[in-house]
Every structure is written in structure tokens, then in C-alpha cells.
Amino acid sequence: MTDQHPDERARIREAMDRLLAGQVTASNGSLTVVALAAEAGVHRMALMKRHADLKTDFYERVRAETKQVPEPEKQLRATVAKLRKTIANQRAEIEELRQLVANLTLASAVLTHQQSTPTGPVPAADNVIRLRRPIG
């Protein structure tokens, strides 16, 4: 599939060189795929889909030649850190809820036991009339 677009591939490679050298002509000079596509004069999705190997090469060169972490990787690392914090908070909340469930279950068991077993003499009801024994 990449054999159909040798001119695009050559333009992308030249654009990589210009971006990394800081000699941009058609983009904002940022070290991103969007800037690379603009600099090469190709659509961004063409770079992402047809020339994914060149995109990967670009990010490897950014890392190696500029000692910078590519912007998408920075964003992913920030997202991962945020998600790890969220997971830790949720685990703590789950543990707290488990403790609460255990305490409520215990309290319910104690109350059920207290209701089912009398602890002292049963008080007589006010509406009960004692019957007398028949004489005779």
C-alpha cells in the first residue's frame, strides 16, 4: 500500500528533517504528527493510516535527537497518573464501604438477637383478664 505513495513518503521524510532542524516552512514547528502532516503537505489521517511507520519513526527521532518526550506520550502519561490516583481512591472507598457493611451486619444481628430472646420477665399486657378456676 505504501508503494502507491512514494512522493508522500519522501515529503514526510523531508518534513521530519525540517521539523527536527527547526527550519519549518508550513507548520507551527511543534513536534507533533499534526505539524508533521502540515509540513509535509499531506492529510493528517493519511499520515496516521497509510504511513504509520513514518509516524513511529518521527516520534523515535524526536526522542533520540531532541531528548524530548513526544506530546502524545506526555498526555498519555498524565492520563495514566490521573487514572491510577482514581483507582487508588476507589479502592480506599470500597474498603471503607466493606467495613461499614460488616459493622451494619453485626449491628443488625445484635438487634435481631435482642428482639428474639427476652432478657427479663415478660411484662403483662394491660388488656389481659385472668380467668378464675372453676369451683368444684
pLDDT in tens, 62-101: 888 887 777 778 888 999 999 999 999 999 999 999 999 9
One domain, residues 19 and 51: yes
Instruction: Identify whether 46 is part of a domain.
Output: yes
Residue 107 pLDDT level (bands cut at 50, 70, 90): very high
| The pLDDT value given to residue 1 | 46
Q: Residue 30 in 3-state DSSP?
A: coil
**Do residues 16 and 61 touch, judged by C-beta distance below 8 A?**
yes
| Cα(16)–Cα(13) distance, integer angstroms | 5
One domain, residues 89 and 44: no
What is the span of the domain harbouring residue 86? Answer: 72-114
| The pLDDT value given to residue 122 | 60
One domain, residues 61 and 82: no
One domain, residues 41 and 53: yes
Q: Residue 107 in 3-state DSSP?
A: helix
Q: Of 46, 68, 90, which one is at a domain's C-terminal end? A: 68
One domain, residues 77 and 31: no
